[in-house]
Amino acid sequence: MERQFYWVEMGDVPQWLIDTPTRDSGEAFEEPWMFADGRVLSDPGPIKTQISHPGIRRAFVFSVIEKAPIVSEAVATVFRTLAPGDVQIFPVSIEGEADPFFVVNATKVIDCIDEARCREVHHYPEDDPSPDYPGEYNWIYGVRIDPSKTEGAHVFRLKKFKTAFIVSEDVKNALEAVGNLGVSFERVTGPAEDR
């Protein structure tokens, strides 16, 4: 049976909003998007963040701008247990919070988008004045991937569309068992869903 995978996105539920993590000194990282770039990072040292908008505290959220996955101890344990070779887990202190939180960095980028099965694909224009994203997707609606190309990974980013944080069904189920999530799961395998 084909393995199932899901795109983890910010959920449409009441929740707190968290700023992009910075160095413990408050200085921004040279690449503030690095926790969403799908690569192994050298240890950033102590990092911190703050609540940008109070709300219901959730066990799994994305930072508001660079979309760094920020999780509770219980959620970090899911990633450590089910995907130890696919992620790095960095402690992050959240101002005003005593409980430990962590940034989850997916370290793999996999070329497995099945463009023909996606509902709608938008490439960056050929004449885009910004050369930062050659050959990448501007956005994809109804993302579909080929699970046979996932190389056994449980957590990864998509080549040419790194905004998507993908998890296996095993990881999804374990995260849902933790509960109190500020994220939703969109299936990216199987037949395309009509909307």
pLDDT for 15-67, tens place per residue? 999 999 999 999 999 999 999 999 999 999 999 999 999 999 999 999 999 99
Kindly report, residue by residue over 115-132, the tens digit of the pLDDT.
999 999 988 877 665 556
Query: Residue 193 pLDDT more than 70?
Result: no
Q: Which of 52, 86, 76 is nearest to 157 (CA)?
A: 86
Q: Could you give the residue ranges of the DSSP H alpha helices within the chain?
A: 73-82, 169-178
pLDDT value for 124? 81
Q: Which amino acid belongs to residue 29?
A: F
Per-residue confidence (pLDDT) for residue 192, from 0 to 100 = 72
Q: How crowded is the C-beta side of 96, counted as CA atoms within 13 Å? A: 8
Least confident of 26-30, 97-101, 106-110, 130-134: 130-134
- Tell me the β-bridge partners of 184: 9
Torsion angle, CA of 33/38/41/46, rounded to 10 degrees? 50
pLDDT of residue 194 exceeding 70, the answer is: no
Would you list the domain boundaries of the chain? Answer: 7-107+168-179
Residue 52: strand, helix, or coil:
strand
Residue 15 · residue 182 · CB < 8 Å: yes
The pLDDT of residue 158 is 97
Residue 113 confidence (pLDDT) above 90: yes
CA distance 119 to 48: 38
In the prediction, which pLDDT does 195 show? 44
Q: Is the pTM of this model over 0.85?
A: yes
